[in-house]
Structure 1
Amino acid sequence: MTEIGELPERRPSFKFMSGFVIVFVIIAIVVVYFLSGFFFVGPAEVGLVKRFGAHIKTVGPGLHYHLPYPIESVVKVNVSALRKQEIGFRTVSPGRYTSVKNESLMLTGDGNIVSVEAVVQYYVKDPEQFAFNLINDEQVVRFVSEAILREEVAAASIDEVLTFERDVIAAKTAERVQDVLDQLNVGIEVKNVYLQEVSPPEQVVAAFDDVNNAKQDKEKLRNEAERYKNDLIPRAEGEAVQIVREAEAYAEELILKAKGEAERFTKVFGEYKKAPKITRTRLYLEMLNRILKDSEKFVLLSKDGVLKFLDLSKMEEGGSR
């Protein structure tokens, strides 16, 4: 019997409630534990599911489930983002940069020093290799790119690096960096290598400007000389052609004249053979006429001891009248 004033014992009810709460908490923990296996992969990502550390499958964007940790886990890799590494400088904030001298200063093939700032752009082409074969992609890409870029700069002269070989050096660097990364199996695809700024070191900028000015003056004088040559040579060639043609015309004239004289002599010789005495007298008189063309002509005749005087010039005048 229960004594008056004593409360009844409720220990069994309390124990029941405590046990229920513990079971509920355990169930809740188990549920939360299994719910932790749900994961979401973004539109630009892929999910690499691992079971006890070994890769078992790759899933695309969307909601997925894997067994909770530590049985399974997921590594998400962004395969669409364009990643970049800066060589010779660092971006402090948008529009602000700082130089990294130990990276930018490089030796050219002709023994000069040049400051080269480059950007390497790349994508993830193999998520599994990128996630499991690589610890730090930034360091690997920067180290490989800087080493190869130095080799390419060392194979060219400073003029080539600063002018027309810049794009060639960038293209060769990108190709060689890709080859090395493929050999390392890191799952990276190089998109581009840009040489953003290539310039001489600050200590020699003034001297380098003087050299460039001298080269520009040299090029200017060379162009002027080339222009003068291009003007003089055609003119001289034209004059030479004209002289040759005049000489050819003169030679042709002499040849024709000689032919005419030869034909005339042949005709005269034919007449001479017909009447030698008359022809000889006529030729003699014609020659005298040519010789004494500008002189007064007189003929003195002697017959029977009497000299007669004949003025041929007056006869010619009379005849001309």
Structure 2
Amino acid sequence: MAQPIEMPGNWRYFQFGNAASALGWLILLAGLGLWLGSGMYTVGPSQVGLVKRFGKFTRSTGPGFHYCLPRPIESVVIVDQRSVRTEEIGFRSRAGLPSTRYPTQEEEALMLTGDFNIIRLETIVQYDVTDAETFAFQLEDHRRIIREAAQAVIREKVALHKVDEALTEKREEIASQVQQELQELLKQYDTGLRIINVRLQEVTPPTKQVAAAFDDVNSAVQDKERLIFEAKRYTNEQLPRAEGMAQKILNEAEAYKQGRILTAQGDVARFAAVLDRYRLGEDVTQARLYIETMESILPHLNKIIVNQEAGGTLKLLNLDEFVRPNKGGAPKK
């Protein structure tokens, strides 16, 4: 009868051992679930996901929710491919500070021009990622590559120009040349980066005394360009107006010319017709021309018609009274 008495104790021990085993399985299953769930990831709208399996790139995924096998089987590298990145050469911007108070990096900003003058040049380089795989797996420090490559190209281009050119009218040209040359250099390096814009933000002499003189020169150059622009604008306004007036005068002259030609041709034709009739009857034509001429002249003249046989009658007439217009306005006859 002793064994049945000991059974309750053994039974309690057996139940405790089963509970510990079940708890271990639950912990194991929870850990396995967490491990499998770690393969879920999200790619943003401007990003691309690069999936590696045992360290080797296998595929890329676009924006959205995705799943890959958990580490160490697969891993994901998220690359922001569409956002524009900015690298500052010669200065470092600080939040809350105006651009005039940004700390200057003298070793980056000081440049030597083609006429052996020193200038301080601050540049902004904007770029983005075109090849996410190359960018993520072949570049160790893309910012350092951009900064050093940009400095090399900027120094090369500045050395080809005089100090006046770099400070004034050649700034945009230098920036364009730097952008093209820097893009070619990054293409040779196979960086997977694209240069969007290069802007020379601040170009000044290294000392305040020299800076004031160069500011005066820069102001004079800007005034010159402004006056040239105003003169061109005035020319563009006046030239079409003058051309229009000239064309109007030419048109009027041409119309007057054609009118005179037609009038002369009509006179010639009329004279030729009269000449033909005159040749047919000279006496009659002379008389008709005389009569027509008198008809056109005499009605507008004050006149007194006296018979040739009147003799001395003209001496007895009061001519003032006869030539004075009557009430109807017509002269007396």
Q: TM-score range by the shorter chain?
A: 0.5 to 0.7
In 2, Cα distance between equivalents of 1:210 and 1:134:
42
Higher Cα Rg, which structure: 1
* Superposed displacement of residue 8, structure 1: 2.7
Kindly, what percent of the aligned residue pairs are identical?
41
Q: Could you report, residue by residue, the CA deviation over 1:105-126 in whole angstroms, capped at 9, with x for unpaired residues?
A: 1000001111111000001111
- Output the TM-score relative to the length of structure 2: 0.61
Q: Could you report, residue by residue, the CA deviation over 1:168-227 in whole angstroms, capped at 9, with x for unpaired residues?
A: 1101101111111111111100000000011111254267349839x88xx9xxx9xxxx
Q: 2:191 aligns with which of 165, 183, 186?
A: 186
Q: 1:45 to 1:116 in 2, by over 3 A?
A: same
- For 1:129, give the aligned amino acid: T
Q: 1:73 aligns with which of 72, 75, 96?
A: 75
The aligned counterpart of 2:242 is none
Unpaired runs of 5+ residues, structure 2, are 229-333
8 A Cα contact 1:121 1:190, kept in partner: yes
Map 1:225-244 to 2 at 5 A. none
8 A Cα contact 1:200 1:208, kept in partner: no
In 2, Cα distance between equivalents of 1:174 and 1:209:
26
1:176 aligns with 2:177: no
1:127 aligns with 2:132: yes
1:200 aligns with 2:235: no
8 A Cα contact 1:117 1:195, kept in partner: yes
* Superposed displacement of residue 150, structure 1: 0.5
8 A Cα contact 2:126 2:195, kept in partner: yes
Q: 2:146 aligns with which of 141, 152, 156?
A: 141
- For 1:152, give the aligned amino acid: K
Unpaired runs of 5+ residues, structure 1, are 224-321
SS at match of 1:91: coil
Map 1:1-321 to 2 at 5 A. 1-2=1-2, 8-9=9-10, 10-96=12-98, 97-205=102-210, 208-209=213-214, 212=217
In 1, Cα distance between equivalents of 2:55 and 2:147:
28
8 A Cα contact 1:90 1:100, kept in partner: yes
Q: Could you report, residue by residue, the CA deviation over 1:126-184 in whole angstroms, capped at 9, with x for unpaired residues?
A: 10011011111111101100110001000100011011110111011011111111111
8 A Cα contact 1:113 1:201, kept in partner: yes
The aligned counterpart of 1:241 is none
Q: 1:142 to 1:37 in 2, by over 3 A?
A: same
In 1, Cα distance between equivalents of 2:134 and 2:215:
51
In 1, Cα distance between equivalents of 2:212 and 2:27:
80
In 2, Cα distance between equivalents of 1:171 and 1:84:
17
**Aligned-pair Cα RMSD in Å:** 2.5
SS at match of 2:94: strand
Q: 1:195 to 1:207 in 2, by over 3 A?
A: closer
* Superposed displacement of residue 5, structure 1: 9.1
* Superposed displacement of residue 2, structure 1: 4.1
8 A Cα contact 2:205 2:211, kept in partner: no
8 A Cα contact 2:204 2:211, kept in partner: no
8 A Cα contact 1:107 1:153, kept in partner: yes
In 1, Cα distance between equivalents of 2:216 and 2:63:
58
Q: 1:25 to 1:123 in 2, by over 3 A?
A: same
* Superposed displacement of residue 80, structure 1: 1.6
Q: 1:166 to 1:83 in 2, by over 3 A?
A: same
8 A Cα contact 1:118 1:197, kept in partner: yes
- Output the TM-score relative to the length of structure 1: 0.63
Q: Could you report, residue by residue, the CA deviation over 1:56-82 in whole angstroms, capped at 9, with x for unpaired residues?
A: 000001111111101100000001211
